[in-house]
Amino acid sequence: MQKRKGISVFMILLIALAFGYFIKNVKVGLVIGLTLGLLMSGLLSSRRK
């Protein structure tokens, strides 16, 4: 399960970078991507309980 979580975090970071390049502001893209990643991980952890 830990390896799968690491892969999902890596994919979220890649999506955030791509989004940042798309809107021409990498920092904003990273912030949005990390925020979405934290929300998704929170939802996933709440489902496991």
- Counted domains in the chain: 1
Given this model, what pLDDT does residue 18 score? 75
Burial class (CB in 10 A: 0-12, 13-18, 19+), 16: buried
Domain residues for 10?
Answer: 2-48
How many angstroms separate the CA atoms of 20 and 3, rounded? 26
**pLDDT, tens digit only, all 49 positions of the chain:** 456 666 677 777 777 677 767 777 667 777 777 777 777 777 666 655 5
Given this model, what pLDDT does residue 5 score? 62
Given this model, what pLDDT does residue 6 score? 63
Helix (H, G, I), strand (E, B) or coil at 1: coil
Given this model, what pLDDT does residue 12 score? 72
